Amino acid sequence: MASATETPPAPTEATSPAARVLKEALGGEVLKVEEFRGDLAITVVPSAWVRAATLLKTRPELDFKLFLDLCAVDHLDDEDRPKRFEVVLHVYSVSGKHHARLKVGVSEANPRLPTLTGVYRGANWFEREAWDLYGIVFERHPNLTRILTHHHFVGHPMRKDYPTAQRHVLPDPQTWLLKVPEGSEHLVVNIGPSHPAMHGTFRVQALMDGETIVDAAAEIGYMHRNFEKMAEVRTYWQIIPYTDRLNYCSSFMNGHGWALAVEKLMGIHAPPRAEAVRVILSEFSRIMDHFVCIGTNIVDLGAITPFFYLFRVREEIYDLLEACCGARLTVSYVRIGGLAQDVPEDFADRCRRLIDSVRKYTDETDRLVTRNTIFARRFKDVGTMPAEEALDWGWVGPCLRGSGVAYDIRKDHPYSGYEQYDFDVPVGTVGDCYDRYLVRLEEIRQSLRIIEQAVAKLPGGPIIVDDKKVALPPKEQVYSNIEALMNHFKLVYEGILAPPGEVYGYTEAANGELGYYIVSDGRKFPRRLKVRPPCFNIYQAYPEMIKGGLLADAVAIIGGLNVIAGELDR
């Protein structure tokens, strides 16, 4: 993973402005500054938690305005730690181009922490999740209720001492999400969780004054199947199939991100051929994802033809994935350190044919949709999101770029060799639905450019790293000599043993920054795996976005946000 010329090197403890400013301002309240694999983690005392986050956000030289993630970690039975829980905040500075991690210890006897919702709006649902799954109370939080589990649930399932199979049956769904003022003549409209416009399993209640929405509330968690809890008893390999089912419109990219995160934790790099194939398939997956988003969004507005066009070409991309690994959708093709097997011989030809086909259907859709008056009127100036607010909510990906912030990890922190390819990052000017649509359409074309270049200079060589601690030996050796057989057995039985430490691996998935925060204690299972899902932040802003608009606009907005339940609820 070489770094591009314009990207500043990851700051160390001495050079990090965040560590310096926090130490100057908070003195002894900064407990420690740790560094591991280029990630810097600053631990503060609980009383300085809000002040530290405020400093990170508001100091102009730091400018950590993009809220990324907030999660809890359970360190049960870790004797080195005086406090059982830890709450971890990840933020990003678009101007300084670096991430920061702020941590605080929380004791089991008194699991309380002041809320960060006053600093970052996006922290709201994340704190609710940390309360729901870990039982950490965020004081003065505006609405500290369960979010992923249901309201009849007892206990906090992500705690290490919660039995995984302990189920709680829900007799009836929650009837009201909104408080209707007494004597009000407004009407409550409930949409979802099973509604064609909701693209899966989201639920929204809107309080209507005629056709106008005066108040709205969303409920999620209908697809919560807690992959993070499962990951705590799975080896790093066994987690690969679970990642496929996060954003299932572009499965391959999730696995790509996961492999890179574990490779960062291990300190290894996949060979160039594997990286190039990963880039090609990731870009095709991005195209597939944008096709679903655009196609279904237009279906919501009443036009079904583009949907059929775009799904037809998706079939052709499925054919390519199938030729590589045998699966259409949930591919499980990456391995830690490379790929499962080499691509077929006619891979380059297949890619070229596919590029022509994708281009043809994209142009056709463009001609059908972009200048269509009905479409433009439904989309222009609808669901406008200003850049500052988008950062505060933690928006990333095409939605953030639609609001005019040119943050693209492929450009700003190139991975897998993205620095070798020439491509542009499209941004919007208004931040409405129409801009988000245009950004996605242009990204499809940019992805094609990247694929063309990657196919033209596809390197030869191995497709997985030559490291006996990470990669399985070739099958012919396993069947013919005892060392390889033992190696295979040990690796399958014991798994990859990652060193103790914690990393935050991040890639530009179809919906934006997909992060994997891994806490390893040196055993074969990760102690904690937290996915930083782009949709979670994006959907969080949705009830606020639709207030004051028409109900029909709410339907137009949701499709363009491309919220995927698998990633949202995990």
Partner 1 sequence: MGVGSFFTSRLDEAIGWARKYSIFQYPFVTACCGMEYMATACSHYDVDRFGAGLPRFSPRQADVLFVVGTISHKMAPVLKRIYDQMTEPKWVVAFGVCTCTGGFYDNYATVQGIDTIIPVDVYIPGCPPRPESVIDGLMKLQDRIAVGAQRY
Instruction: Give CA–CA dist 177/536, Å, rounded.
Output: 18
Tokens of 316: 């052709």
Q: Which residues contact 198 (CB under 8 A, 6 or more apart)?
A: 191, 192, 204, 558
CB of residue 241 vs partner 1: minimum separation in angstroms? 7
DSSP, residue by residue, 5-32: TTSPPPP-TTT-HHHHHHHHHHGGGEEE
154 binds partner 1 (CB under 8 A): no
Applying CB under 8 A, among 168, 367, 377, 475 the residue interacting with partner 1 is 168
Q: How far is the CB of 133 from partner 1 (least distance, A)?
A: 11
CB distance 538 to 563 below 8 Å: yes
- Of 76, 170, 376, 406, the one binding partner 1 (CB under 8 A) is 170
Judging by DSSP bridges, how do beta strands 187-191 and 137-139 pair with one another? Answer: unpaired
Question: Which of 222, 504 has the CB closer to partner 1?
Answer: 222
Distance from the first to the final alpha carbon of the chain: 28
Q: Between 190 and 477, whose beta carbon lies closer to partner 1? A: 190
**Could you tell me which stretch among 13-21, 67-75, 160-168, 474-482 binds partner 1 (CB under 8 A)?**
160-168
> Considering beta carbons, is residue 11 or 295 the nearer one to partner 1?
295
Closest CA to 57 of 49, 48, 67: 67
**145 interacts with partner 1 by CB under 8 A:** no
Q: In angstroms, give the least distance from the CB of 217 to partner 1.
A: 16
> Is 38 or 241 the residue whose CB approaches partner 1 more closely?
241
Binding to partner 1 (CB under 8 A) within 313-332 occurs at: 314-315, 318, 328-330
Handedness of CA 552, 554, 558, 561 (dihedral sign): positive
Nearer to partner 1, 248 or 347 (CB): 248
Does 447 bind partner 1 (CB under 8 A)? Our answer is no
Residue from the set 23, 186, 195, 352 that interacts with partner 1 by CB under 8 A: 195
Shortest CB 202 distance to partner 1, Å: 11
In the chain, how many H helices and how many E strands?
A: 20, 15
- DSSP symbol at 499: P
Are 92 and 62 spatial neighbours (Cβ–Cβ below 8 Å)? no
Distance CA 276, CA 186 (A): 56
530: helix, strand or coil: strand
Cβ-based nearer residue to partner 1, 3 or 164: 164
The rounded distance, in Å, linking the Cα atoms of 42 and 33 is 5
> Residue 111 CB, nearest distance to partner 1 (Å)?
20
**Is 92 within 8 Å of 68 (Cβ atoms)?**
yes
Pattern 205-224, partner 1, x by CB under 8 A? ----------------xxxx
Q: Binding to partner 1 (CB under 8 A): which residues in 233-292?
A: 241-242, 244-245, 248-249, 292
Stretch that binds partner 1, among 93-101, 309-317, 461-469, 543-551 (CB under 8 A): 309-317
- For residue 166, state whether it binds partner 1 (rule: CB under 8 A): yes
Binding test (CB under 8 A) with partner 1, winner from 171, 302, 460, 461: 171
CA-based nearest residue to 62, from 8, 23, 19, 18: 18
How many residues form the binding site for partner 1 (CB under 8 A)? 49
* Number of Cβ atoms within 10 Å of the Cβ of 489: 11
Q: Smallest distance, Å, CB 125 to partner 1?
A: 16
Q: What are the residues binding partner 1 (CB under 8 A)?
A: 149-150, 157, 162-173, 193-196, 200-201, 221-227, 229-230, 241-242, 244-245, 248-249, 292, 307-308, 311-312, 314-315, 318, 328-330, 565-566
